[in-house]
């Protein structure tokens, strides 16, 4: 069996996606996602110029060997561009293998560990009152877990507050827009949001919050401590994780559960955090961390320490990643939660899929493969549009972490 073609499709049905379609000499094809938000074309070039020529003629059944070939063989290891390209190939090959086996992907991975995949949605508003209302709407839709982000008075476009309610899209400008940040104001305001949420809705639902890398370790510890009475499911990316040691300080001061890893691209990014038990949930995901082949290794390492998975699932991860993630989530023994930001109807039409939402859970389908396809004719109607993520600056103009 041979790979006869590998095509990179760029489309923008509401937002940009990079998709890889691998075709074989036996007519079976596989689909992988390679989207890197705000830096999409770098991965297109990496795939078209440096990966696709090597794939032609290879045996698509040798998933592990092809992974090692692309990882070790490049000499230049890791990084978001390389690992997304590898992920796209890997997921397409798992799709092919599962289709050939006539099985949904989760069966091939080891079978079902749970009935449904608990997901969390994104509720946000420009202030506490609006956010409390938005959380209520998610509860009404049946969600068991909700991430709550609020605008903060005095901060211009604080992180996580979208223009729309159901579809929040941060990469929205042809050049990066400038947002503001002020840690003092956020520390004053965010705990009040969670106090209000618990007062209004009680303690039955899981509540999550994303710090989006804004706080120093000491400030993060302070926030975690202030949030303790409100029993969060997790506090995410509360400080940047390049220095994994930083989490020791946070851990010493708070029992609020910590989640990290949506920007991780290999097991090495997470190794110290996991082995020193400094986090509770690992956010690495399929498209970010080298595909299923590599993500399952991260999950297995985490499992040794009772750390659970919480795959990134923002809209910049295409339905292909969502579909594959749901098969992974259905199998992985140490599953925690899955992020679910809904795609627009335009996106859903370009990527026909068989997963479905019901009462706070997503369910993967039973079709052979990962269950997500690409409608190429429809995709061609939505050409690429440059779109950057915003940047953040402090009140005095200093560049900060977005």
Q: What does the binding site for ligand GCO look like in residue numbers (CB under 6 A)?
A: 37, 170, 210, 212, 262, 314, 316, 339, 389
Partner in contact with 339, chosen from ligand GCO, Mg ion, none, beta carbon below 5 to 8 Å by kind: ligand GCO
Largest Cα–Cα distance in the chain? 61
> Quick one: 24 or 347, whose CB is closer to ligand GCO?
347
Interacting partner of 196 out of ligand GCO, Mg ion, none (Cβ under 5 to 8 A depending on kind): none
Cβ–Cβ < 8 Å for 117, 364: yes
Query: At closest approach, how far in Å is the CB of 339 from ligand GCO?
Result: 6
Query: Distances in Å between the alpha carbon of 81 and those of 69, 101, 315, 383?
Result: 16, 31, 18, 21
Smaller CB separation from ligand GCO, 244 or 338: 338
Indicate which of ligand GCO, Mg ion, none lies near residue 314 (CB less than 5 to 8 Å, by partner kind): ligand GCO
By rule CB under 5 A, what count of residues binds Mg ion? 2
SS (H, E, C) 173-186: ECCCCEEEECHHHH
212 is catalytic: yes
Rounded-to-10 torsion of CA 333, 207, 389, 379: 60
Residues with Cβ < 8 Å from 114, sequence gap 6 or more?
329, 330, 335
Task: Provide the minimum distance between the beta carbon of 312 and Mg ion in the complex, in angstroms, as a whole number.
Answer: 7
Report the residue closest to Mg ion, judged by CB. 210
- Choose the one of ligand GCO, Mg ion, none that binds residue 219, judging by a C-beta under 5 to 8 angstroms depending on kind: none
Closest approach of Cβ 83 to ligand GCO, in Å?
A: 15
**Binding segment toward Mg ion, per CB under 5 A, in 117-125, 223-231, 255-263, 372-380:** 255-263
Report the alpha-carbon distance of residue 402 to residue 388 in Å, rounded.
Answer: 12
Measured CA to CA, the distance from residue 273 to residue 247 in angstroms comes to: 8
Query: Minimum CB separation from Mg ion for residue 293, in Å?
Result: 24
Q: How far is the CB of 291 from Mg ion (least distance, A)?
A: 20
Sign of CA dihedral 346, 349, 355, 357: positive
User: What is the Cα–Cα distance from 23 to 2, expressed in whole angstroms?
Assistant: 9
> For residue 391, what are the contacts with CB-CB under 8 A and spacing of at least 6?
176, 177, 178, 179, 399, 402
Residue in 29, 120, 138, 159 annotated catalytic? 159
Distance CA 298, CA 309 (A): 9
Asked if 361 is an active-site residue, the reply is no
Nearer to ligand GCO, 95 or 210 (CB): 210
- Binding segment (CB under 5 A) for Mg ion, from list 69-77, 222-230, 257-265, 392-400: 257-265
Query: What's the distance, Cα to Cα, between the start and end of the chain in Å?
Result: 46
CB of 366 to ligand GCO, least distance (A): 28
Name the CA dihedral angle for 152, 156, 160, 163, rounded to a multiple of 10 degrees. 110
Catalytic annotation, pick one of 212, 343, 353, 370 = 212
Helix runs in 102-127, H state only: 105-109
Q: Does 210 engage in binding with Mg ion (CB under 5 A)?
A: yes
Q: Candidates 54-62, 94-102, 164-172, 260-268: pick the segment binding Mg ion (CB under 5 A).
A: 260-268
Residue with smaller CB distance to ligand GCO, 261 or 323: 261
Query: Whose Cβ is closer to Mg ion: residue 71's or residue 234's?
Result: 234
Nearer to Mg ion, 210 or 329 (CB): 210
**Hey, which residues are catalytic here?**
159, 212
Binding site for Mg ion (CB under 5 A): 210, 262
């Amino acid at each position: 069996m041979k790979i006869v073609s590998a095509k990179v499709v760029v489309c923008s049905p509401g937002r940009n996606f990079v998709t890889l379609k691998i075709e074989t000499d036996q007519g079976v094809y596989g689909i992988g996602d390679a989207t890197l938000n705000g830096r999409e074309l770098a991965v297109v070039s990496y795939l078209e110029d440096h990966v696709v020529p090597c794939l032609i003629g290879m045996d698509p059944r040798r998933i592990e060997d092809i992974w090692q070939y692309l990882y070790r063989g490049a000499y230049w290891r890791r990084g978001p561009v390389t690992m997304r390209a590898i992920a796209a190939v890997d997921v397409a090959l798992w799709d092919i293998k599962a289709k050939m086996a006539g099985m949904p992907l989760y069966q091939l991975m080891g079978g079902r560990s749970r009935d449904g995949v608990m997901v969390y949605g994104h509720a946000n508003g420009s202030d506490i009152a609006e956010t409390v209302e938005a959380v209520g709407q998610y509860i009404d839709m049946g969600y068991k877990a909700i991430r709550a982000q609020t605008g903060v008075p005095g901060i211009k476009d604080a992180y996580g507050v979208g223009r729309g309610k159901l579809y929040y899209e941060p990469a929205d400008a042809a050049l990066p827009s400038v947002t503001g940040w002020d840690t003092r104001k956020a520390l004053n305001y965010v705990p009040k949001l969670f106090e209000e949420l618990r007062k209004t809705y009680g303690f039955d639902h899981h509540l999550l919050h994303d710090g989006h890398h804004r706080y120093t370790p000491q400030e993060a510890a302070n926030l975690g401590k202030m949030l303790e009475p409100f029993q969060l499911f997790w506090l995410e990316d509360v400080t940047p994780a390049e220095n994994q040691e930083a989490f020791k300080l946070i851990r010493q001061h708070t029992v609020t559960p910590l989640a990290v890893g949506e920007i991780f691209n290999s097991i090495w990014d997470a190794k110290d955090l996991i082995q020193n038990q400094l986090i509770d949930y690992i956010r690495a995901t399929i498209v970010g961390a080298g595909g299923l082949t590599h993500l399952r290794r991260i999950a297995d390492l985490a499992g040794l320490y009772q750390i659970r998975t919480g795959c990134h699932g923002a809209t910049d991860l295409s339905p292909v990643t969502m579909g594959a993630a749901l098969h992974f989530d259905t199998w992985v023994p140490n599953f925690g939660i899955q992020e679910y930001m809904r795609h627009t109807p335009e996106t859903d039409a370009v990527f026909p899929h068989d997963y479905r939402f019901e009462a706070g859970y997503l369910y993967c389908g039973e079709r052979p493969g990962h269950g997500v396809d690409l409608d190429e004719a429809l995709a061609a109607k939505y050409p690429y549009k440059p779109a950057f993520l915003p940047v953040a600056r402090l009140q005095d103009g200093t560049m900060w972490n977005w």
